[in-house]
């Protein structure tokens, strides 16, 4: 079971739990404001852009080349940017905090 904290654009803190799928799917299932997942998780949009808390970034790792290319088209990209459709829910990411970029 992974517990993930989302900080929405209006600074609302929402904690969700899951055991499988992507972080984007978990966010959509829990109605996290600002996570739309328009492409269904195939890394062809950026409606699930988040900033990973710096201390948690090692848990999620660097974006793939395809994900990095998609992020280049986004505003507010940082060295801690990820598309949460590309982060798999697992025990390894338990406790991470993600800042939602879009509202």
Reported as a single tens digit per residue, the pLDDT across 33-69 is 999 999 999 999 999 999 999 999 999 999 999 999 9
pLDDT value of residue 65: 97
Q: What is the mean pLDDT of the chain?
A: 96
Could you tell me the CATH superfamily of domain 2-100? Answer: Beta-grasp domain (3.10.20.30)
List C-alpha distances in Å: 19 to 70, 92, 100. 26, 11, 21
pLDDT at 102 over 90: no
Cα–Cα distance measured from residue 89 to residue 43, given in angstroms and rounded to the nearest whole number: 16
pLDDT value of residue 32: 97
pLDDT value of residue 103: 62
Domain residue ranges of the chain, discontinuous segments joined by +? 2-100
Q: Could you tell me if 69 and 57 are in contact, meaning their C-beta atoms sit under 8 angstroms apart? A: no
Residue 21, Cα to own-chain centre: how many angstroms?
12
pLDDT interval class at 22 (50, 70, 90): very high
- Could you tell me the pTM of the whole model? 0.94
Average pLDDT over residues 63-80: 95
Q: Could you tell me if 7 and 97 are in contact, meaning their C-beta atoms sit under 8 angstroms apart? A: yes
């Amino acid at each position: 079971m992974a517990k993930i904290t989302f900080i929405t654009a209006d600074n609302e803190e929402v904690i969700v739990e899951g055991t499988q799928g992507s972080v984007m799917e978990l966010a959509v299932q829990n109605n996290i404001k600002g996570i739309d997942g328009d492409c269904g998780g195939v890394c062809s949009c950026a409606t699930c852009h988040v900033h990973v808390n710096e201390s948690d970034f090692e848990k999620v790792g660097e974006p793939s080349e395809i994900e990095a290319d998609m992020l280049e088209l986004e505003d507010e990209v940082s060295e801690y940017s990820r598309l949460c459709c590309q982060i798999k829910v697992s025990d390894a990411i338990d406790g991470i905090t993600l800042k939602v970029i879009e509202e």
